[in-house]
């Protein structure tokens, strides 16, 4: 049997502070009804001033490592998917490594926004399938509240903070990651981006004055691209493995907007009951979205050994991807 990467442990962490739609009514010109109707979001978690992305990632990682029944020292590598790192460098993965007390392994970040966890999962899968490494930690973590413009009602209602983690290990059985499918289109970079803080618009009074440190999004265009790209990558993953939607026990999509998931459900002719949806409680947690949803799905006992699940996401870049897993 070929070597496969199997998820042997999962973890999730969200900050304690809850920001409801009713709270947002007091901050910007919006309403609970409008937000819920347009997005499906009721509340989101917000990191404290003292919490950074690596803190969220570390806490989720601890849970995943404990769930896997291993020690941090058993890890061969750490990959963190994030677009809200603690700082430009070093990587948040190195900071998580330090917090875990692990030395002598490699760690790095992947920047693929909301698709980040699937990108990181795919990279980790290649390392393990090659036989070079045996056990790896993959984390999706973002603290979007740090880069949200809380005066912009079109974006501030969408995002929340959190982290999800998975421990992968080499396995020669039938279970594990069957295939991953990754794509990007840099021509669409300006649908969703943060223009300030990098080498193009470095920190300055002018940058801050023009509020370039915050998320900019063209919502309608992003919505259409999200529906099309996620639908197509799902079809590709199924076709490449000789499967149909009926073979998938549960679809676990990126939690950006309920209307996006509903549109994908309609396109694929798959009932909404077979899509994991939890964005009402968390909003869009970017790279943390898919692993948090996966963690909850397994904890709820909805997946049994031998079931197929399909992860799918899209994000800034634009990026999109899918991962087919046999549990």
Rounded to an integer, the average pLDDT of 289-295 is 98
Q: Are residues 111 and 243 in the same domain?
A: no
- Reference 169, options 3, 9, 6, 324; nearest CA is 6
Q: Are residues 237 and 139 in the same domain?
A: no
Could you say which of 94, 114, 181, 257 is catalytic? Answer: 114
Residue 278 has pLDDT above 80, yes or no: yes
Name the residue range of residue 49's domain.
Answer: 4-172
Residue 292 exposed, middle or buried by CB count within 10 Å (0-12, 13-18, 19+):
buried
Q: Are residues 67 and 192 in the same domain?
A: no
Handedness of CA 61, 62, 66, 69 (dihedral sign): positive
Q: Give the CA distances from residue 216 to residues 98, 201, 221, 235, 244, in Å, rounded to whole numbers and listed in that order.
A: 33, 14, 13, 30, 37
Q: Are 310 and 324 in contact (CB under 8 A)?
A: yes
Q: Are residues 93 and 135 in the same domain?
A: yes
Give the per-residue pLDDT at 2. Answer: 85
Tens digit of each residue's pLDDT (9 = 90 or more) over 184-215: 999 999 999 999 999 999 999 999 999 999 99
| Catalytic (active site) residue 114 | yes
Number of independent structural domains in the chain = 2
Rounded to an integer, the average pLDDT of 296-313 is 97
Of the candidates 172, 196, 219, which is a domain's last residue?
172
Q: Are 321 and 313 in contact (CB under 8 A)?
A: yes
Q: Are 288 and 141 in contact (CB under 8 A)?
A: yes
- The single residue listed with the structure tokens 């190195």 is 94
Residue 1 has pLDDT above 80, yes or no: no
Q: Are 15 and 160 in contact (CB under 8 A)?
A: no
Give the per-residue pLDDT at 321. Answer: 98
Rounded to an integer, the average pLDDT of 277-299 is 98
How far apart are alpha carbons 275 and 166 in whole angstroms? 20
Could you say which of 21, 156, 181, 254 is catalytic? Answer: 254
How far apart are alpha carbons 173 and 313 in whole angstroms? 27
Q: Are residues 121 and 207 in the same domain?
A: no
**Given pLDDT bands bounded at 50, 70 and 90, which one contains residue 108?**
very high
The per-residue DSSP string of 61-80 comes to HHHHHHHHT--GGG-SEEEE
CATH at residue 165: 3.40.47.10
Pairing outcome for strands 106-110 and 77-81:
parallel
Between 258-268 and 32-39, two packed helices, what is the crossing angle to 10 degrees?
Answer: 30
Rounded to an integer, the average pLDDT of 300-321 is 97
- Reference 103, options 142, 130, 76; nearest CA is 76
Tens digit of each residue's pLDDT (9 = 90 or more) over 217-263: 998 999 999 999 999 999 999 999 999 999 999 999 999 999 999 99
Tens digit of each residue's pLDDT (9 = 90 or more) over 64-91: 999 999 999 999 999 999 999 999 999 9
Give the per-residue pLDDT at 254. Answer: 98
Q: Omega of the bond prior to 308 within 30 degrees of 0, cis?
A: no
- Phi then psi for residue 286, to 5 deg, are 60, -125
Rounded to an integer, the average pLDDT of 169-188 is 96
Query: DSSP secondary-structure letter at 159?
Result: B
How far apart are alpha carbons 300 and 76 in whole angstroms? 29
Q: Are residues 33 and 99 in the same domain?
A: yes
Of the candidates 172, 207, 226, which is a domain's last residue?
172
**Buried b vs exposed e over 177-206: b needs ≥16 C-beta within 10 Å?**
bbebbbbbeeebeebbebbbbeeeeeeeee
Q: Are residues 139 and 210 in the same domain?
A: no
**Given pLDDT bands bounded at 50, 70 and 90, which one contains residue 137?**
very high
Q: Are residues 164 and 277 in the same domain?
A: no
Tens digit of each residue's pLDDT (9 = 90 or more) over 119-132: 999 999 999 999 99
How far apart are alpha carbons 208 and 326 in whole angstroms? 47
Q: Are residues 198 and 108 in the same domain?
A: no
| Catalytic (active site) residue 284 | yes
Q: If you average pLDDT over every residue of the chain, what do you get?
A: 97
Give the per-residue pLDDT at 173. Answer: 87
Which helix H or strand E contains 172, and what residues bound it?
none
- Phi then psi for residue 319, to 5 deg, are -130, 155
Give the per-residue pLDDT at 259. Answer: 97
Q: Are residues 10 and 148 in the same domain?
A: yes
Of the candidates 120, 153, 172, which is a domain's last residue?
172
Q: Are residues 118 and 185 in the same domain?
A: no
Q: Are residues 152 and 189 in the same domain?
A: no
Residue 55 has pLDDT above 80, yes or no: yes
| Catalytic (active site) residue 228 | no
Could you say which of 94, 156, 257, 284 is catalytic? Answer: 284
Percent of the chain with pLDDT over 70: 100
Which helix H or strand E contains 326, and what residues bound it?
strand 319-326
pTM across the whole model: 0.97
Residue 153 has pLDDT above 80, yes or no: yes
């Amino acid at each position: 049997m070929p070597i496969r990467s199997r998820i042997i442990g999962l973890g999730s962490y969200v900050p304690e502070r809850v920001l409801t739609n009713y709270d947002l009514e007091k901050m910007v010109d919006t309403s609970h009804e409008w937000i819920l109707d347009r997005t499906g979001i009721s509340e989101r978690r917000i990191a404290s001033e003292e919490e950074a992305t690596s803190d969220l990632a570390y806490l989720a990682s601890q849970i995943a490592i404990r769930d896997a029944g291993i020690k941090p020292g058993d890890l061969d590598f750490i990959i963190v998917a994030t677009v809200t790192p603690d700082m430009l460098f070093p990587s948040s993965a190195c900071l998580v490594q330090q917090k875990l007390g692990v030395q002598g392994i490699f760690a790095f970040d992947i920047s693929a926004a909301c698709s980040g966890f699937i990108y990181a999962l795919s990279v980790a899968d290649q390392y393990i399938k090659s036989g070079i490494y045996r056990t790896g930690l993959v984390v999706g973590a973002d603290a979007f509240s740090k880069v949200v413009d809380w005066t912009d009602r079109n974006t501030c209602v969408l995002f929340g903070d959190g982290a999800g983690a998975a421990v992968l290990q080499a396995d020669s059985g039938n279970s594990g990651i069957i295939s991953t499918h990754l794509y990007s289109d840099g021509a669409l970079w300006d649908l969703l981006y943060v223009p300030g803080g990098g080498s193009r618009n470095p920190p300055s009074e002018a940058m801050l004055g023009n509020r370039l440190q915050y998320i900019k999004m063209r919502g309608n265009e992003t919505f259409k691209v999200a529906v099309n790209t996620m639908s197509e990558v799902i079809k590709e993953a199924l076709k490449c493995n000789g499967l149909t939607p009926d073979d998938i026990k549960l679809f676990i999509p990126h939690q950006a907007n309920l209307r996006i998931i509903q549109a994908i459900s309609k396109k694929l002719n798959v009932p909404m009951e077979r899509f994991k949806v939890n964005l009402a409680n968390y909003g869009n947690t970017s790279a943390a979205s898919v692993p948090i949803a996966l963690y909850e799905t397994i904890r709820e006992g909805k997946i049994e050994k031998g079931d197929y699940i399909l992860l799918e996401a899209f994000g800034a870049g634009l990026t999109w991807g899918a991962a087919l897993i046999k549990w």
